[in-house]
Amino acid sequence: MKYIASCSFGKDSLAMLLKLIEEKESLDEIIFYDTGMEFQAIYNIRDKILPILKENNIKYTELKPKEKFEYKMFEKPVNHRNGTKGKGYSWCGGRCRWGTTEKNKTISKYLENNYGNNYIEYVGIASDETSRINYNNIHKSYPLVKWDMKEKDCLYYCYQKGFNWLENGVDLYSILDRVSCWCCANKNLKELKNYYIYLTNYWNKLKEYQKKTNRPFKNNKYTIFDLEKRFKNEIEKE
């Protein structure tokens, strides 16, 4: 039996990985699926983890989407449900999470092709998020639940171990609820306002992307430019 951990290098999966190593649990391989749209902080954490994996004789595998995320977003020829043709699937998030679908399929296919039925995949779901658990899948194991590590415990544990998610001198977890793709349309208004204030480089990239698609970024209603106006107004009034 092989033991494999999927790790996005966000707080929960990183805490799981570090504790699996600390507890000397069976761990043969780490899989990181790189969408190509991760924050630089995530790549920095990956680079800090690689020597630790080597030291512990743990294989590291990086998977990527078949086609570049940006290509699928804005250029890939697509047939819309109403019969019209277009270019790209536009923003990923909400009900249209085409990036997540590809990620899950790619990881499952990799595991099946390499290990058949002979593997356990550790998944970093915190013990206060158990609604996300698929108990029917016999290949999945949830160590954070076993250790009763809640989201806040995971973050604290990572900090204690010397890991943080610094961008522009700001820790991403102090301004965002989730650290996922920087262009994720699931970001809430509070998070987006923090992008505008603290993560100007990513905010500017979002503006560039918005120019390439007609679909509004938030709730199918607000473009990045609408949000910028709103945040500017709010900040002026504060």
Near ligand SF4 by CB under 6 A: residue from 7, 42, 179, 184: 184
Burial 21-35 (b: 16+ CB within 10 A, else e): beeeeebebbbbbbb
Near ligand SF4 by CB under 6 A: residue from 6, 13, 90, 180: 180
Our CB check for ligand SF4 shows the closer of 69 and 163 to be 69
Our CB check for ligand SF4 shows the closer of 23 and 62 to be 62
Our CB check for ligand SF4 shows the closer of 37 and 158 to be 37
Which residue's C-beta sits nearest to ligand SF4? 99
Report the alpha-carbon distance of residue 154 to residue 126 in Å, rounded.
8
Please report whether residue 99 would count as binding ligand SF4 according to CB under 6 A: yes
DSSP codes of every residue in 15-39: HHHHHHHHTT----EEEEE--S---
Taking contact as CB under 6 A, which single stretch among the options 89-97, 195-203, 206-214, 228-236 is the one that binds ligand SF4?
Answer: 89-97
Please report whether residue 106 would count as binding ligand SF4 according to CB under 6 A: no
| 122-151 footprint of ligand SF4 as x/- string (CB under 6 A) | ------------------------------
- 158 Cβ contact partners less than 8 Å away, ≥ 6 residues apart: 11, 14, 15, 18, 164
Q: Is residue 229 helix, strand or coil?
A: helix
Near ligand SF4 by CB under 6 A: residue from 40, 141, 186, 213: 186
Burial 172-204 (b: 16+ CB within 10 A, else e): bbebbebbbbbbbbbbeeebbbbbbebbeebbe
Name the one residue in this structure whose structure tokens are 């590809």.
Answer: 102
Report the alpha-carbon distance of residue 46 to residue 17 in Å, rounded.
12
Near ligand SF4 by CB under 6 A: residue from 6, 13, 35, 194: 35
Near ligand SF4 by CB under 6 A: residue from 181, 192, 206, 227: 181
Binding site for ligand SF4 (CB under 6 A): 35, 92-93, 97, 99-100, 103, 180-181, 183-184, 186
